[in-house]
Structure 1
Amino acid sequence: MSAGWAVALHGGAGVHAGRSYARAEACLAELVRAASDQLSDGAPALDVVERAVAAMEASGLFVAGRGSAPNRLGDVELDAAIMDGATHRAGAVAALQGVASPVTAARRVMDATSHVLLVGQGATLFAGQQGLEPILDLETWLTTPEGFRDGDLDEGHGTVGAVARDGKGRLAAATSTGGTYGASPGRVGDSPLIGAGTWADDLVAVSCTGVGEAFIRAAAAHDLAARVRYGGARLETATDAVLRRALELGGDGGVIALSREGPAVARFNTDGMKRAWAQEGAGAFVGSVGDDVRRVG
């Protein structure tokens, strides 16, 4: 018997104490309520995480989609991944340009090809062939993510992600990022790499945010799942261990995760993480700085 549906969203762990994240929290609250309604109506977890991440990309409030960070050349390169835990099917794109929703492109890679990851020009060509929405004018399409100021820019913590468990107990995860400000052209972080920033199987769904290079070195998302599967670790314990390992390897950040039963876990080793979560029969919550959360549904 299913443990009931659950969902969690994150908008990055680049939170600074003393700042207000009211707009981002309002967006997350709206999206977690929408995701809850979808799951209550029987929507598959895979569809729910794609829709939630696409909406965060479109909001312009996070370092993903419209809020992405230009690299050293002033170009915007977009990364995303999505994974279906029930089947281990996955799709991802990296260094994608000119496409409004990279998570939608990642879903098309999963559904329409035999591949898992498409990059650069090939990813852009594929998205065009799939008829995905193009970015017609990058300058007017981009927004400035909430909380950024000149000289105090996010350092790789603006990734967005979602994990969900549907009424049939199926798990899914999706992650999307618009990179880091001033990054080298072609730089790819953990978000589109299955097992690093994104993972879902029959036991665990994971989406990471933080310094991508450290999360790659830690194989963070898969390591978390392996600690649960092979070591019998509790989800909270596994999540904390993975964050410690990433920190040892040079990067802080945060993780959201779900197992086959129980509530979502949201952990971070920064000042906070923009996050929201809900569980069947337990309400919905949102927070950013530290442990300060509020009920929103």
Structure 2
Amino acid sequence: MPAPALILHGGAGARRSRDYSREIVHMRSVVEAMRARLMDGVSALDVAVETTVLLEDSGLYVAGRGASPNLAGDYELDASLMDGATGRAGAVAAFQGYRNPIRAARAVMDQTPHVLLAGAGAARFAGEQGLEPIDDPGRWFTRAGQGEDNHPPGQGPALAHGTVGCCVLDRQGRLAAATSTGGVFGKMPGRVGDTPIPGAGVWATDRVAVSCTGQGEYFIRTAAAAQIHWRVEAGASIMEAGAAVIAGIGELGGDGGLIALDAAGHRADPFNSQGMKRAWLTPDGEIGVEVFGR
């Protein structure tokens, strides 16, 4: 069996005009913590959830506490995860009122026959599962009505975005992936992007694990996450597959990136935005962190 490996992202769309030193320190600390968990034999699926919770709770990324409100001033969050060993998936969309949408997605996977719950039904289910509510959104969300982290309010490009996610390979050779987001900035109420849609924003099989970040409409239109699997099955390397998918999104006019792992622990992290916040653990035990370098 391969040694464990992990890659996470804090979103594509990073801008060179910003200082990401806090995010760099945080991403490294998350990878270090999850390296210990993987070495203890924790499953890829559990580590994927734990990693995403740490990213959501930090308030440093456009997911969880760092989400930005929609045009109505409400916080609608999306999340999904997929277990490569079993093909199971769980997701929530337009999720309001509760912390950690990735925990809600895990509960959908484990406690229902469904893959995706949305809106009021997802919130009701979260309450029934005893998930932690958000009592005061104005104090919980760190952006509290601010605009996208890379652009002043009202001055960002169309579909300015941010997301977090991770791909994990555990000591038993199992793969899993998770993605969580606050969505694009200034979105219409009820808008749902690629993040909670298996095949678009997340995918995991026994061959690959994928998490996407960017203008979700383009990732949906290209089945971006599942495309990685298809290309690897056809003989491409994980890096070749990732590069081809992002190139195709760029040809349509889309912006973003993705992270991926294969069953040997090889990683891919292509993007066509200025930068993409990401960190990784190699099967050799090395940790890397990068925002703008390729």
TM bucket normalised to smaller: over 0.9
Q: Distance in 1 between matches of 2:160 and 2:42?
A: 32
Q: Distance in 2 between matches of 1:21 and 1:74?
A: 27
1:19 to 2:18 alignment: yes
Q: Distance in 2 between matches of 1:124 and 1:139?
A: 18
For each residue in 1:242-268, what CA deviation from the matched residue of structure 2 results, as whole angstroms up to 9, or x when unmatched?
001112223111110000003321111
Further displaced range: 99-108 or 275-284: 275-284
1:250 to 2:253 alignment: yes
Aligned partner letter, 1:164: V
- Superposed, 1:175-186 pairs within 5 Å as 175-186=179-190
Further displaced range: 247-256 or 218-227: 247-256
Residue aligning to 1:218: 222
- Superposed, 1:156-235 pairs within 5 Å as 156-229=160-233, 231-235=234-238
Q: Distance in 1 between matches of 2:149 and 2:255?
A: 20
Q: Distance in 2 between matches of 1:102 and 1:66?
A: 11
Once the 2 structures are TM-superposed, how far is the Cα of residue 150 of structure 1 from its aligned partner?
3.5
1:261 to 2:260 alignment: no
Q: Contact 2:13–2:150 (CA<8 Å) still a contact in 1?
A: no
Once the 2 structures are TM-superposed, how far is the Cα of residue 148 of structure 1 from its aligned partner?
5.0
For each residue in 1:153-183, what CA deviation from the matched residue of structure 2 results, as whole angstroms up to 9, or x when unmatched?
4844310000000001000000000112210
Instruction: Determine helix, strand or coil for the equivalent of 2:270.
Output: strand
1:75 to 2:74 alignment: yes
Q: Contact 2:8–2:259 (CA<8 Å) still a contact in 1?
A: yes
Instruction: Determine helix, strand or coil for the equivalent of 2:291.
Output: strand
Q: What is the TM-score with the length of structure 2 in the denominator?
A: 0.95
Once the 2 structures are TM-superposed, how far is the Cα of residue 194 of structure 1 from its aligned partner?
0.3
Residue aligning to 2:95: 96
Q: Distance in 2 between matches of 1:156 and 1:108?
A: 29
Aligned partner letter, 1:117: L
Instruction: Determine helix, strand or coil for the equivalent of 1:27.
Output: helix
- Superposed, 1:118-137 pairs within 5 Å as 118-137=117-136
Further displaced range: 255-264 or 118-127: 255-264
Residue aligning to 1:294: none
Aligned partner letter, 1:184: M
Residue aligning to 1:271: 274
How many residues of Structure 1 are paired with residues of Structure 2 in the alignment? 289
For each residue in 1:187-213, what CA deviation from the matched residue of structure 2 results, as whole angstroms up to 9, or x when unmatched?
000000000000000100000000000
Instruction: Determine helix, strand or coil for the equivalent of 2:14.
Output: coil
Once the 2 structures are TM-superposed, how far is the Cα of residue 18 of structure 1 from its aligned partner?
3.6
1:110 to 2:113 alignment: no
Aligned partner letter, 1:244: A
For each residue in 1:16-75, what CA deviation from the matched residue of structure 2 results, as whole angstroms up to 9, or x when unmatched?
124210111111111011111111111100000100111111100111001111111000
Q: Distance in 2 between matches of 1:208 and 1:237?
A: 16
Percent identity between the aligned chains?
A: 53
Residue aligning to 2:244: 241
Q: Contact 2:82–2:203 (CA<8 Å) still a contact in 1?
A: yes
Once the 2 structures are TM-superposed, how far is the Cα of residue 3 of structure 1 from its aligned partner?
1.7
Instruction: Determine helix, strand or coil for the equivalent of 1:92.
Output: strand
Q: For residues 147 and 251 of structure 1, do their structure 2 counterparts lie closer, same or farther at Cα, with a shift above 3 Å needed?
A: closer
Q: Which runs of 5+ in 2 are unaligned?
A: none
